[in-house]
Structure 1
């Protein structure tokens, strides 16, 4: 039964195993495989094998790997030395057994793959559209690898996992520290944060953190234990959770935004002691909008500004332009480039990414490109620009009386082609893959790939167009809109034009520049 939650939830923290991915099944299988083999070889009275409904749920599920080894051994009155972090999986120690279990688990992942719960994927999309901040937590040190293999990493603004806990010496569940760490990175508060857990230890940890609501996920009927641990509500699927997020939206008209140059001190205060990470759109942001896309040239002075910034910060350009075109316009090897709205990414130190699902649609784009050119050749002033993962139909020079005809022609070409969609922009229609991948996902993918944790870095995105709203919406940092695109925006600040962008960057550079000695 669906329950309506208070419209004050601004952030959601989800456990990974059993809530997001079905890897809990593989973890349980690996634990049983490891412990059954270990118990069978023990001298003396034969120990019963590990019982999944009993032993696993009570002593292992939801806690860190080494804690799982310790707790289960204690339940059987068995004792092993703690061992050394360098112990291999063959060592007869707590560390050794933990590594042995991990080896079994990775073999299972490689062999069987990781399934994503469809109800979770549906809700991730819903929550993202509503502007909810999302974090994933896990006791697993394989969290990132699992999310990458399931193509889920880009959904989350924050990840706190076994690697984080080891690096920062965070105690595991049922201590609340991993949840509190995720909440801190999300810049949320307990009273406005929802936790979704399927493990008893996880529910106990969330309750100790005094979070507003703790949802227990009982996919296989484990409701009683979760309720006893303190869960506020029990669901079998995440689609049973209904959240009215309207009051948390920060969408507003561009004219109502504070001007970034007038609010520099406030922006500096928001950055604090963190290091900025700079993301830009290209057309309309780093160069003025012009009728001919090829004429959008970066001046030598502006190029030098970007080069100077790249010596101080991580700098990326995320554009609808194709990757090769974007690189040829900017000509700075030290920058990161994300072309085609993030479908293709390239940067220093061997950084390369092509969004795999998009490559499967390339043959259809080839067909549509020919059909569109044929369909609109009668409309004067229209220009069709092919990018690798998109087709841009520019109508800036088309007579206003014929724009409606142009849009209808494009719709007719795309009729029945469900793998493609049309995006809007400033005097442009953009035909692109109908996939849930955009500038916001690309931005967060880069932050995670480059390990630019929100606790130490402040992402700043500057863009001007409708397509930049994907990045501004998913951004957990400072968003700046240049000019206006005629609709409401997720930005925090505004700038009037390209020249003001470079004035803003100059002030940021001076503020962050080291003191001369």
Structure 2
């Protein structure tokens, strides 16, 4: 059974750049859900060819060339014209396109949802790098539902790993998997007190067995030493603070050099947050990580986040060395560096000489919005598995329902090897 993940609601205008993969049924289905449809043809010949399919279905029609045989307009110019003539705000519009130029142009214009279509896996990461919120193999993987007189909800459908194990396992026939897993919400249930997020013994046994067969890494926003203590298995690789600090068997070790220079400033931020939101708001917990500060507000009153943001903005100010990050009921202050869980995964693969996509296939499993960096990084040459759901489009290929089903997956991988 596929799990639906609601990702956006907009007063919908759907811009379709190229309609080669769209059936009339697709367009009619979207139209029936209150969506206005604008189609951008690559040229006049394509517009004439698709005329019968589009008749009576679309609201606006444009071509990318000035006139037959003339030079094509730039994507940004075309998108601007579409938005102006349709009189729809970019913040209430979505784009579906295979073209990297239109993807990046739509993001610069601030469209609410930008969907890339890529039927072949190589090239998906390029569309993500260009700014796509979501890259799909098939348009069937996203649904449009009416949510009011003018509102449409876009729902992403991710297949569960166990719905088609044969398809999931196909890449393993000639490539060896390398496993990367988040901790909270993936290996251990999310709990009210972060210091009590203990690893179930059954999961520890499965990880130990899996590590006898394959390379296994845990990639977490938690501090690396905390993760080591929770899991207690020397065979694993540990990447803490979203990968700013990594250690593993055989002397594997890395600390992000630039991030080290910011530790004293993080000390100052920590003291300030403990004296302000840490004391002023019941239920708020300030956690110092090696390369970040996390403010947990799961147990705090509603609307606490606004106050925490205010203090974080005050601390960071115009300091470009730091940025805010979000997780599940967490706000973080961390180094504003081009480094994240996806970069950490790439570093580990390269360091262990596992970067050859013809020999190894990385499998990343996580539940948090911060895991999306890893999913996007592996969108061409790996497998991303989202645990549960979250509030943004996911670059994962598959889904597992919850921590219990992650355990079932680990058990399957151990006993099917």
Q: Does 1:457 align with 2:360?
A: yes
Aligned to 1:500: 405
Distance in 1, matches of 2:259 and 2:248, equals 20
Aligned to 1:220: none
Q: Secondary structure at the match of 1:269?
A: helix
Distance in 1, matches of 2:347 and 2:383, equals 17
Distance in 1, matches of 2:330 and 2:117, equals 29
Q: Does 1:416 align with 2:318?
A: yes
1:249 aligns with one of 135, 141, 144: 135
Do the aligned partners of residues 247 and 288 (structure 1) sit closer, same or farther apart at CA in structure 2, a change above 3 Å counting?
Answer: closer
Distance in 1, matches of 2:174 and 2:155, equals 28
Aligned to 2:281: 379
**Partners of 2:204 and 2:231 within 8 A in 1:** yes
Aligned to 1:427: 329
Instruction: Map residues 160-199 of structure 1 onto 2, 5 A cutoff.
Output: 188=122
Q: Secondary structure at the match of 1:400?
A: coil
Q: Secondary structure at the match of 1:459?
A: strand
Aligned to 2:262: 361
User: Once the 2 structures are TM-superposed, how far is the Cα of residue 414 of structure 1 from its aligned partner?
Assistant: 2.0
Q: Secondary structure at the match of 2:372?
A: helix
Do the aligned partners of residues 401 and 355 (structure 1) sit closer, same or farther apart at CA in structure 2, a change above 3 Å counting?
Answer: closer
Do the aligned partners of residues 344 and 503 (structure 1) sit closer, same or farther apart at CA in structure 2, a change above 3 Å counting?
Answer: same
Instruction: Map residues 453-492 of structure 1 onto 2, 5 A cutoff.
Output: 453-475=356-378, 476-492=381-397
User: Once the 2 structures are TM-superposed, how far is the Cα of residue 413 of structure 1 from its aligned partner?
Assistant: 2.2
Aligned to 2:339: 437
Aligned to 1:262: 163
Do the aligned partners of residues 494 and 511 (structure 1) sit closer, same or farther apart at CA in structure 2, a change above 3 Å counting?
Answer: same
Aligned to 1:403: 305
Distance in 1, matches of 2:403 and 2:215, equals 20
Do the aligned partners of residues 331 and 436 (structure 1) sit closer, same or farther apart at CA in structure 2, a change above 3 Å counting?
Answer: same
**Partners of 1:392 and 1:430 within 8 A in 2:** yes
Question: For 1:222-269, what per-residue CA distance to the aligned partner results, in whole angstroms no more than 9, with x for missing partners?
Answer: xxxxxxxxxxxxxxxxxxxxx977598249778510011212211111
Q: Secondary structure at the match of 1:392?
A: strand
User: Once the 2 structures are TM-superposed, how far is the Cα of residue 9 of structure 1 from its aligned partner?
Assistant: 6.3
Do the aligned partners of residues 315 and 4 (structure 1) sit closer, same or farther apart at CA in structure 2, a change above 3 Å counting?
Answer: farther
**Partners of 1:131 and 1:473 within 8 A in 2:** no
Do the aligned partners of residues 450 and 417 (structure 1) sit closer, same or farther apart at CA in structure 2, a change above 3 Å counting?
Answer: same
**Partners of 1:131 and 1:474 within 8 A in 2:** no
User: Once the 2 structures are TM-superposed, how far is the Cα of residue 363 of structure 1 from its aligned partner?
Assistant: 1.1
Instruction: Map residues 32-431 of structure 1 onto 2, 5 A cutoff.
Output: 188=122, 246=132, 249-250=135-136, 256-376=157-277, 377-431=279-333
Do the aligned partners of residues 409 and 246 (structure 1) sit closer, same or farther apart at CA in structure 2, a change above 3 Å counting?
Answer: closer
**Partners of 1:7 and 1:246 within 8 A in 2:** no
Structure 2 portions without partners, runs of 5+: 1-72, 76-96, 102-113, 143-153
TM-score by length of 1: 0.52
Structure of larger gyration radius: 1
User: Once the 2 structures are TM-superposed, how far is the Cα of residue 8 of structure 1 from its aligned partner?
Assistant: 4.7
Do the aligned partners of residues 468 and 244 (structure 1) sit closer, same or farther apart at CA in structure 2, a change above 3 Å counting?
Answer: closer
Distance in 2, matches of 1:382 and 1:304, equals 34
Distance in 2, matches of 1:419 and 1:470, equals 20
Question: For 1:322-341, what per-residue CA distance to the aligned partner results, in whole angstroms no more than 9, with x for missing partners?
Answer: 11111001100000000111
Distance in 2, matches of 1:330 and 1:277, equals 18
Distance in 1, matches of 2:322 and 2:173, equals 42
Distance in 2, matches of 1:458 and 1:419, equals 34
**Partners of 2:185 and 2:366 within 8 A in 1:** yes
Q: Secondary structure at the match of 2:161?
A: coil
- Aligned residue-pair number: 291
Structure 1 portions without partners, runs of 5+: 11-128, 134-185, 195-242, 513-517
**Partners of 2:198 and 2:230 within 8 A in 1:** yes
Distance in 2, matches of 1:509 and 1:420, equals 41
Aligned to 2:148: none
TM-score by length of 2: 0.64
More helix by share: 1
